[in-house]
Amino acid sequence: MRSDTLHSDVDEAPASAYIEHGSASFKRTILALFAAGFATFALLYCVQPLMPEFSRNFALSAAQSSLSLSATTGVLAFAMLIAGAFSDAYGRKPVMVVSLLASSLLTAGLALTRDWQEVLIMRALMGLTLSGLPAIAMAYLSEEMAARSIGLAMGLFIGGSALGGMSGRLLAGVFTEWQSWRFALGVIGFTGLICGLIFWRALPPSRHFEPRPLRLHELAAPARRLLRDPGLPWLFFAGFLLMGVFVTLYNYIAYRLSGAPYDLGQGAVGAIFGVYLVGIFSSAWMGHLAGKLGRRKVFWSAFVLILVGIGLTLLQPLALVILGLAVLTFGFFGGHSIVSSWVGRRAGGAKAQASSLYLFSYYMGSSIAGYCGGFFWDRFGWVGVVGFTGALATLGVGVALRLQGLQPITPETH
C-alpha cells in the first residue's frame, strides 16, 4: 500500500503511467475531485447569502457580517502555506480526506452555536481544516495527469467547485427561508460528509508522489525560489484580483437584492446563485482553449468579461443584474482555471508549494477585498461596490497584458 492511500486499490494502468483523458483512472479521478470540489466550496461559501440574515440576527454591519467568510478565507490562506508540506510528508490523499470530513463536521456544528463569537470561532477553525484540500488537489492533478489532460482535468475540478459554491449558497437560502439558517448549515454539513466518503473511495492512489520528511523550517527556501520566477508572482497577484472581485460582488449582492426595489426573500436570493452553472462550463472550456491556443493569449479575456459583468450589475432591471453576475462568473471561473494550471506548469518540482502560494494570494483576495467591500457598501451603496471591484478588475487586465510578454517554460515530458 502506498503512503497516500487509505484502502487497497487496484488500477489497470502501469505504475509509471500518467492519467490520460478517457481512461478509467481519469473518470475515477474526476468523480473524486468533482465531489471534493463540490463539498469544499459548498462548505466554504454557504454563509455568503446568509450575511443579511446574520446582520439581522446579531445586529451587525455588512462588513462585520462578512467576517463569517473572511475569517475562514483569511485563516485558510495562511494554513495553505504549510498544508502542502504536510501532504509531502503524509501523502496527498490522507490529508485531503481528513480535511474534507473535519470541515463537514464543523459546518454541521454551526447549527449548535449560541452567539456570533462562536460562529466566527467555528468558521476560523474551518480555515484550518479546509486548507488540506484545494492546494493539494492542484498538486495531485499536476503530478498525476498527462500534460495534454491536465487543463481539462483542472477545469472539471473547478467546475465541481463552481457547482458546490452554487449549491451551498442555494441550499443555504432555501433551507433558511423554510426553516432557519442553523438547519440549513446542518444539512450542508451532512452533504459534505457524503461527498467526503465518495472522494475517499474513488480517488486513485498517487503513482508519482514521493514522501518527504516534514521540515517546516525549510519551507522558506522553495518559496523564495518560486517568487524569483519571472511569471509566478504575477500569477499569484492575478489570483488575488480574481478572487477579490468575485467574492466582493457576491458578498454584497444579497444586501442589494433583499432591499428596494427588489425586496427578494432569502430563498430567491439563494436561487440567484444558480448563475454559478456557467462556471462549470467556462472553467472546462476556457481551460481547454488555453491549452490549445496558449494561456498568454487567452487569459486577458477573463478580466474583460469580469469588467463587463460588473458594469451590467449597475443597471436596475433584475434580468440585467443576473446577466451581469453570469458574465462575471463565466470570466472568473475561466480565469481561475487558466491560472491554476499555469502555476502548476511553471512550478516544476515544487508544485505543492506553488499551489499553496497561489491559493494564499487567492484567498487573501477573498478575505481582504471581501471585507473592505463592506465599507464601500455601507458608505456608497452598490455604486461603491462596483467602483471598488471595477478598479481591481482593471488592474487585472494590466497584469494579464504583462503576462503576455512572459517567456514560456520548456514543455514537460508528461
What domains are there in the chain, each with its CATH number? 24-206+222-403 (1.20.1250.20)
Looking at per-residue pLDDT, the higher value among 67 and 142 belongs to 67
Q: Is 113 exposed, middle or buried (0-12, 13-18, 19+ CB in 10 A)?
A: middle
pTM for this model (two decimals): 0.77
pLDDT confidence band for 407 (50 / 70 / 90):
low
Tell me which DSSP letter residue 50 carries: G
Q: Are the C-beta atoms of 341 and 348 separated by less than 8 Å?
A: no
Mean pLDDT, residues 283-292: 68
User: pLDDT tens digit string along 358-395?
Assistant: 888 988 999 999 999 999 999 999 999 999 999 999 99
Helices (DSSP H) in 259-299: which residue ranges?
266-272, 277-293, 295-298
Q: Is 109 exposed, middle or buried (0-12, 13-18, 19+ CB in 10 A)?
A: middle
pLDDT confidence band for 292 (50 / 70 / 90):
low
| Cα angle 67, 69, 71; round to 5 | 60
Whether the pLDDT of residue 2 is over 60: the answer is no
Give the residue among 313, 332, 314, 331 at the shortest CA–CA distance from 323: 313
Sign (positive or negative) of CA dihedral 100, 41, 32, 219: negative
Phi, psi of 19 (to 5 degrees): -80, 125
| Backbone torsion region of residue 410, taken as left when φ is above 0, otherwise alpha when ψ lies between -120 and 50, otherwise beta | beta
Alpha carbon distance 63, 372 (integer Å): 7
Alpha carbon distance 310, 312 (integer Å): 6
Instruction: Provide the grid cell at 330.
Output: 463565466
* Most confident by average pLDDT, 9-23, 53-67, 400-414: 53-67
Alpha carbon distance 104, 163 (integer Å): 17
Mean pLDDT, residues 292-303: 76
Instruction: Provide the grid cell at 81.
Output: 502555506
Whether the pLDDT of residue 345 is over 70: the answer is yes
Alpha carbon distance 192, 35 (integer Å): 9
Whether the pLDDT of residue 74 is over 90: the answer is yes
pLDDT confidence band for 90 (50 / 70 / 90):
low
Q: What is the Cα Rg of the chain in Å? A: 20
Alpha carbon distance 169, 306 (integer Å): 21
Alpha carbon distance 29, 409 (integer Å): 27
Whether the pLDDT of residue 347 is over 50: the answer is yes
Alpha carbon distance 296, 407 (integer Å): 10
Helices (DSSP H) in 203-317: which residue ranges?
220-227, 232-258, 266-272, 277-293, 295-298, 300-312
Whether the pLDDT of residue 310 is over 90: the answer is yes
Single-letter amino acid code for the residue at 209: F
274 in helix, strand or coil?
helix
Phi, psi of 209 (to 5 degrees): -95, 130
User: pLDDT tens digit string along 194-244?
Assistant: 999 999 988 887 776 665 666 666 666 667 777 778 778 999 999 999 999
Instruction: Provide the grid cell at 158.
Output: 473547478
Average pLDDT, the chain: 83
pLDDT confidence band for 259 (50 / 70 / 90):
confident
Q: Give percent above pLDDT 70 in the chain.
A: 84
Q: Are the C-beta atoms of 355 and 236 separated by less than 8 Å?
A: no
Tell me which DSSP letter residue 14 carries: -
User: Tell me, what's the pLDDT at 4?
Assistant: 43
- Helices 351-380 and 382-403: crossing angle in degrees, nearest 10, is 150
